[in-house]
Chains A and B, each alone.
Chain A
């Protein structure tokens, strides 16, 4: 068991990467929420707005955890030198490139006329995956890039400490609301 656990990165490595993932995912949602908020303020009361935010935070927290599974899985599967030993840099690179590609893909769903039959050729997807792989590789090979990514992840890790308790509090609120009906 301990041999298996040793294949995973340390907590100190995981938290900065989680912070990067969380800040991107939460920002993506909250930007759209603030765009929507003025219309909701026309008819929802304060309690309903707070509860809505709670739902969003819980969903974002679960999304962040789900995405984190990607780098963790790679660290587990790949040789230690390839990923685990440079987990912060390569995990951050993977998070930024992966989530960036997901944003580009998400924007393709902007057209209501295509809904839900968006034409999605395979070659851009393959190209994006190859690009992400190259970028992640370079994150560990180019010292400057590695240092920059580690510095960014280190500074962003504060959000992991802010967003996690907020999300857990939100989860409690959601559970209470569902239970009370």
Chain B
């Protein structure tokens, strides 16, 4: 082998740095490989706790999402899209399995999908020809990745792209789900005295020191973090990380990228802090008997914080959109933007862990951009998060799995079936292996939405119903439920029969 002279070395160095600079501008692997006729790649971006009601894309008063609107110009926009549930565990499980919570049974906080159904998931539905990658900043979604591990080629740590983190569960990959649950969720969880007296306390003191040493001048309210887990991040870093991840994927790939924001605590960067200090007050709605009785003025402040955080997410999403466009990925891949559940600041409830299934907590965004799509298309009939799995399987050229409870989304293989019934539910205080006893089930059909409360002490454990005409009363202020209303009775019969049928599957266990 000839010796490398100094001149050769310098030539090689300049050639390599030039190549590196060009690589940044060059089309990504996803678009390059797609040109050779591979199946389209699919990128699913999930923004946790993003309510459709707070997005200007869907007509919200505040201009929270100019970049979502920009994306909508080349996407199918689902204007009546519902998550099957109201918090991460059941909401994400429904997204990933195409099943309603009463089937997949991940109904409790940090719960799991029924072991017998864990093989029924989006990663398996797309098949092994896809390189399948999963990332969720939300630990509860990571539990599902642990259940699906045979079908996922790469799972990123929930702490990936963060500034300060003390996640240790993924350092023991052999026992993925349980180590996260025991070590990260139980022993080291924030907001409580650490259950591990020596190591937990040491971790808390080290975290305190590491946090204090981290520059966070651009976040006046402190760095965003993932709730009770020791993961602190800059939103821009998370998006940069997701872009870098997408950039290295090779077609055909399927990436599920689940961002914590705009979930609480709402901590926008300085640029968006006080962005909506406009004095606007939404219409005050009556306190609900099942609500938390938060004061309207407090909820308004929280709503403003949330809107600012949504605007911050939208800004970063704009950068992501530019990146996808520049890399040619929008021309070759399906890009899906959605959420696992919404967020609520009304009727005495702030957040989403509530038995109330009003629109802000269950109506979520869904935008799907097909490869090369250049025009906007609107779908105005009710659709469900369980429809995403069969639709993506169909778009990937795979058969829609028979176990799927969802339907193909209109415009993407499905027809606009106006009579489709869409369900949402919350049963977080019921055991996963018994029939539903204390739960809320909502049925959205045509213009109407029936909400069924079962087993609540506040209603004397009697069934209670509310009915709203969403088309004429989108704020759900006028309860139309009456025993003499044929519409109310039809919907009541339908929801009771469905719940009875689902409960019958667990009758023996009960």
Contacts and interface: CB of A to CB of B under 8 A. Distances in A.
Nearest to A108: B193
Given A55-B183, A118-B208, A181-B175, A39 B109 contact: yes
Contacts of A106: 193-194, 197, 200-201, 204
Contacts of B182: 52, 55-56
Interface string A85-104: 00000000000000100110
A25 interface: yes
Contacts of A115: 190-191, 225, 228
Contacts of B433: 43
Q: Which size class do B's interface residues fall under?
A: 35 or more
A169 B133 CA distance: 36
Contacts of B432: 42-43
B197 A25 contact: yes
Interface stretch (A3-11, A59-67, A75-83): A59-67
A56 B187 contact: yes
B474 interface: no
Interface string A4-37: 0000000000000000000011001100110010
A49 to B, nearest CB: 10
Interface stretch (A144-152, A159-167, A171-179): A171-179
Contacts of A174: 175
B181 A109 contact: no
A55 B430 CA distance: 27
B195 A45 contact: no
Contacts of B198: 25, 63, 66-67, 102
Given A179-B174, A181-B175, A28 B197 contact: yes
Contacts of B192: 109-110, 112
B195 A28 contact: yes
Contacts of B106: 43
B115 interface: yes
B111 interface: yes
Contacts of B195: 28-29, 32-33
A2 interface: no
Nearest to A38: B431
Contact of B108 (A29, A43, A59): A43
- Name the prevailing secondary structure of the A interface residues: helix
A45 B118 CA distance: 14
A112 B190 contact: yes
B164 to A, nearest CB: 8
A51 interface: yes
B222 interface: yes
Contact of A112 (B173, B191, B199): B191
Q: Which size class do A's interface residues fall under?
A: 35 or more
B399 to A, nearest CB: 30
Nearest to B115: A45
A46 interface: no
A42 B204 contact: no
A63 B174 contact: no
B172 interface: yes
B199 to A, nearest CB: 6
A62 B200 CA distance: 12
B207 interface: yes
B353 to A, nearest CB: 13
B193 A107 contact: yes
Nearest to B173: A181
Contact of B112 (A29, A44, A63, A103): A44
A181 to B, nearest CB: 4
A105 interface: yes
Contacts of A51: 175, 178
Interface of B: 105-106, 108-109, 111-112, 115, 172-175, 178-179, 181-183, 186-187, 190-201, 204, 207-208, 211-212, 222, 225, 228, 230, 232, 430-433
6 contacts: A52-B181, A52-B182, A63-B197, A117-B212, A174-B175, A177-B175
Given A42-B432, A115-B225, 10 more contacts: A24-B197, A29-B196, A42-B430, A43-B111, A55-B182, A106-B193, A110-B193, A111-B191, A178-B174, A181-B174
Q: Which 6 A-B pairs have the closest CB atoms?
A: A112-B191, A178-B174, A63-B198, A32-B195, A43-B111, A43-B432
